DNA sequence: TGTACATCAGTGAACGCGCGTTCACTGATGTAC
DNA sequence: TGTACATCAGTGAACGCGCGTTCACTGATGTAC
């Protein structure tokens, strides 16, 4: 647990190290409450009070961690579809990237989407524009991808239905591995069912 | 915070009061970690050590609370469909009851389904039979209801897709109320889309 | 009917622990003159 | 070039708190004889 002091003007570097330590602790323990200020300090190799130069309190660390998770997710979604032009395949790639993020960082995913931001103080007002919501960017990508697959009466509704399905699968599969989950591909196909262009079905 | 001692032979009554106190605390605070042994004792109007006559440790209280939540959910599902014979309407009533439970007891719902029971000690082995899983009974009802709506190649897959959709919607709607959620009826219709008998669609 | 004893349903005080946060500080690196 | 001072990047000790758990106990209610 040795660590050299940062040079002059590089004090801000510790900020990143603090968030990284908090992220590592979350991903290893699986519990948001395991992110204690003292624990993060220990992990980062610094004294506990040193954190206060960078964050006003414990909560601010977690907030930063969550914001970073959303940014990372959005980046992964963007990267996943940048080389694909076919709308149907783009949509599927997007879904796969979404699930991949939840797979690689299950606890960050859960904490990011699972924190209750009810109607109390610090919560968004009811009329908040989507892009400003946490994860709003990622959802916007989903809506666009869904809309691109064909003429739909309500692409936002379809995207929402797809999103809740992806989210439910991601969280439940991580939390209840003993459940006899279908193949990921079959699951995705089933979730995308109602977003596919429908036509006559024989029977 | 006055409370009379239980009569002889009625000591077990305190057990229920403890679980009820824990449930109330969870539902009021929204945090699983707010269920502290001392807090539960205060709420129940007893001294902290009195709990040890009924539970070996703090965790056992939460386990009991979760088991109770699953039983309650299953009961609500059963009650919701008992007077309906039409398979399609039965399925929809089941979904509505499921969402109603998550609505009435959002935190109990989240804790019940959200606790990570990974592959560590105390977790179910991979081959566990469904009914033994927490919530397995409720899921079984869903599978039956889906299967009853028509001939399907894989009703379990369809039920799973529906379940993850319901779960995702229930948890996200509770956690992110600022999102522009569609009408619950529209949402449900969208989630049930791929379980409805498909036929030719005009376009 | 009395009385000694057993059981039941709890209590009060204490333990050690990790937590978030405050406080006054320290030593290295830069800047003014 | 020296030197006084400012700033930066942290530290060590201490605070009060609530926690889970253990311990020896108490008083009321029942049972044996």
Report the pLDDT value the prediction gives residue B201, as an integer from 0 to 100.
Answer: 38
Distance, in Å, from the CA atom of A198 to the CA atom of B151, rounded to the nearest integer, reads 19
Instruction: Look over chain A and give the mean of its residue pLDDT values, rounded to a whole number.
Output: 92
- In 3D, which of B76, B55, B77, B52 has the Cα closest to residue B64? B55
Question: Using 50, 70 and 90 to split pLDDT, how confident is the model at A119?
Answer: low
Of B118, B190, B203, nearest to A161 by CB-CB distance is B190
Which of A149, A190, A198 has the highest number of chain B CBs within 10 A, making it the mutation to test binding with B? A190
Exposure b/e, B144-171, CB count within 10 A at least 16 = b = bbbbebeeeeebbbbbbbbbbbbbbbbb
- A18-56: pLDDT as tens digits: 999 999 999 999 999 999 999 999 999 999 999 999 999
Cβ–Cβ gap A128/B178 under 8 Å? yes
Given a cut of 90, is residue A79 above it in pLDDT? yes
| Cβ–Cβ under 8 Å, residues B170 and B184 | no
Classify the phi-psi angles of B196: left when phi > 0, otherwise alpha if psi is within -120 to 50, otherwise beta: beta
The H or E element that residue A168 is part of is: helix A155-175
Q: Which residues of A touch B199 (CB under 8 A)?
A: 200-201
Rg (CA), chain A: 20
The tokens for B41 are: 């004792």
Question: Using 50, 70 and 90 to split pLDDT, how confident is the model at B108?
Answer: very high
Average pLDDT over residues A94-107: 98
Distance, in Å, from the CA atom of B94 to the CA atom of B141, rounded to the nearest integer, reads 8
| Cβ–Cβ under 8 Å, residues A133 and A124 | yes
DSSP string, chain B: ---PPPPTT-TTHHHHHHHHHHHHHHHHH--GGG--HHHHHHHHTS-GGGGGGT-SSHHHHHHHHHHHHHHHHHHHHHHHHTT---HHHHHHHHHHHHHHHHHHSHHHHHHHHHS---SSTTSPPTT--GGGSTTHHHHHHHHHHHHTTS--S-HHHHHHHHHHHHHHHHHHHHH-TTS-PPPHHHHHHHHHGGGSPP-----
- Assess A71–B contact: CB distance below 8 Å, yes or no: no
Lowest mean pLDDT among A48-57, A123-132, B90-99: A123-132
Of B113, B130, B161, nearest to A180 by CB-CB distance is B130
Go through chain A and tell me how many residues it has.
203
Indicate whether this model's pTM tops 0.85: yes
- B4-48: pLDDT as tens digits: 888 887 889 999 999 999 999 999 999 999 999 999 999 999 999
Distance, in Å, from the CA atom of B196 to the CA atom of B188, rounded to the nearest integer, reads 12
- B172-196: pLDDT as tens digits: 999 999 999 999 999 999 999 866 6
* Distance from CA(A135) to C1'(D33), angstroms, rounded: 78
Distance, in Å, from the CA atom of A55 to the CA atom of A65, rounded to the nearest integer, reads 12
In the 140-169 segment of chain A, residues within 7 Å (Cβ) of strand D are none
Q: Which residues of B touch A198 (CB under 8 A)?
A: 198, 201
The tokens for B77 are: 């599902």
The tokens for A67 are: 């914001």
Report the pLDDT value the prediction gives residue B119, as an integer from 0 to 100.
Answer: 67
Alpha-carbon separation of residue B83 from A129, B93, B95, B189, B195 (angstroms): 43, 10, 15, 21, 22
Distance, in Å, from the CA atom of A161 to the CA atom of A151, rounded to the nearest integer, reads 17
| Cβ–Cβ under 8 Å, residues B147 and B141 | no
Given a cut of 60, is residue A154 above it in pLDDT? yes
Average pLDDT over residues A187-199: 77
């Amino acid at each position: 647990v040795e660590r050299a002091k940062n040079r002059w003007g590089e004090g801000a570097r510790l900020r990143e190290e603090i968030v990284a330590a908090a992220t590592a602790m979350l991903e290893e323990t699986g519990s948001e409450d395991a992110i204690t200020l003292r624990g993060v300090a220990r992990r980062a190799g610094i004294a506990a009070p040193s954190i206060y130069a960078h964050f006003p309190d414990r909560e601010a660390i977690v907030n930063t961690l969550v914001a970073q998770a959303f940014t990372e997710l959005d980046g992964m979604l963007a990267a996943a579809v940048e080389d694909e032009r076919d709308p149907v395949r783009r949509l599927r790639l997007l879904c796969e990237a979404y699930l991949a993020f939840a797979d690689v960082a299950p606890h960050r995913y859960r904490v990011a989407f699972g924190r209750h931001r009810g109607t109390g103080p610090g919560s968004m007002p009811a009329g908040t524009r989507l892009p400003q919501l946490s994860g709003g960017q990622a959802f916007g990508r989903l809506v666009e991808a869904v809309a691109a697959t064909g003429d739909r009466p309500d692409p936002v509704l379809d995207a929402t239905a797809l999103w809740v399905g992806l989210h439910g699968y991601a969280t439940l599969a991580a939390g209840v591995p003993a459940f006899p989950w279908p193949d990921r591909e079959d699951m995705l196909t089933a979730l995308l069912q109602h977003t596919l262009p429908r036509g006559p079905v024989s029977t």
